Amino acid sequence: MHAKQRTSEITEDLVQNKPAAIAWSEAEEIAALPESAIPALLLKACDVARAFGRSEIFTCSIINAKAGRCSQDCAFCSQSIHHHTKVTVYPLMDQAKLVDRALEMDQAGATNFSMVTSGYALNESEIETICAAASEIRKKTGLTVCCSPGMLDPEKAKKLRGSGVTNYHHNLETAESFFDRVCTTHAYEKDIEALEIASSSGLSVCSGGILGLGESWAQRIELAFRLNELNVPRIPINFLNPIPGTRMADQPVLPPMEALKCIALFRLVNPDRDITICGGREITLRDYQSWAFLAGANGIMVGNYLTTQGRDLEMDREMIREWQKTQPEAH
């Protein structure tokens, strides 16, 4: 059967019958599509996002609240003590700095603000600072407050939820079958456990990964379905931006069309979830950044990332405005 026709059949079933996901075998068919079929796939993925109410674009922003000297050996990360990079190192910012940055991003039009910290987990004093900042941010802005504080226990999760933190971000990074190629200092199960603790504490979970680490298409499918099984409401997709001094320094950047195909695949496997395009989009998608929405994404991270520069905020706002002009009005 012609690739375009088969893609139409797979996506039409999603739109009409709204199952929880396409079948694993169908995901394998999508992964095997030739490059010539990708534009048609993207249009269909966009239809799926719209059918599941995922066409309104939201924006996330982050602050690198605590930088460097992470004990974990994640192969892509410039903040790991196992790598020799030029990353700036500093302890957890104080409450005032965290709040000031949130106010800046609120004024810039962001809808979500996340405090991200380097390291395996925060201590009690650091959690208290994050909680105090979250409470003040909620009082002073309309931002959805998120945090990425590393591993959690139930007590820390309860404190975060009580302070006004809504979303807990913790990436799985890659498929379990590829994880030992990326990180050897903790088990994949610990990441799963952290997500389950957060969810059971009433926090909304945000978890995804980084694509372009050398994983296979089969492993991309594995990750997409694991996130579906965990019922993760929001999936951030990052693309590797190779950093000198890390073990991934020489890994080639994904071509734009392959990256867009990845986004479409994650949309079809997770049709009713939010999909956010985050770090690495500028270097990977290049002139095709707005095509991320065409591929089914409904959110982007704006501003700077943890240790790399993002794009000009006004350029992103203009990109979103122009995209929304092309969309049919909701009835």
Q: Up-side HSE of residue 240: CA atoms within 13 Å toward CB?
A: 26
d(CA 262, CA 290): 15
Instruction: Decide which of 308 and 61 is more confident.
Output: 61
Query: At which residue do the structure tokens 């992103």 appear?
Result: 316
Confidence of residue 307 (pLDDT cuts 50, 70, 90): very low
Confidence of residue 303 (pLDDT cuts 50, 70, 90): low
Domain contains 237: yes
Across the range 294-308, mean pLDDT stands at 76
d(CA 101, CA 99): 5
The DSSP string of 231-249 is T-SEEEEEE----TTSTTT
CATH number of the domain where residue 286 is located: 3.20.20.70
Instruction: Decide which of 158 and 314 is more confident.
Output: 158
> Which amino acid, one-letter code, is at 45?
A
d(CA 115, CA 138): 13
Local structure of residue 118 (DSSP, 8 states): -
Rounded to 5 degrees, what are φ and ψ at 266?
-65, -35
Domain contains 16: no
| Residue 305 predicted with pLDDT over 70 | no
- Domain of residue 192, residue span: 48-325
Domain contains 14: no
Confidence of residue 330 (pLDDT cuts 50, 70, 90): very low
pLDDT digits (tens, 9 = 90+) for 171-185: 999 999 999 999 999
Report the percent of the chain where pLDDT is more than 70: 96
pLDDT at 306: 52
Across the range 318-328, mean pLDDT stands at 82
d(CA 274, CA 225): 15
CB 191 within 8 A of CB 168: no
* Distances, alpha carbon 72 to alpha carbons 75, 119, 287, in Å: 9, 7, 34
pLDDT at 308: 47
Domain contains 285: yes
pLDDT at 311: 61
Mean pLDDT of the chain: 90
Return the closest-CA partner of residue 277 out of 236, 318, 234, 309. Answer: 236
pLDDT digits (tens, 9 = 90+) for 85-120: 777 889 999 999 999 999 988 888 888 889 999 888
Domain contains 262: yes
Domain contains 7: no
Domain contains 31: no
The DSSP string of 70-95 is BS---TT-TTBTTS------B-PPPH
Domain contains 3: no
pLDDT at 327: 77
| Residue 156 predicted with pLDDT over 80 | yes
Into how many domains does the chain fold? 1
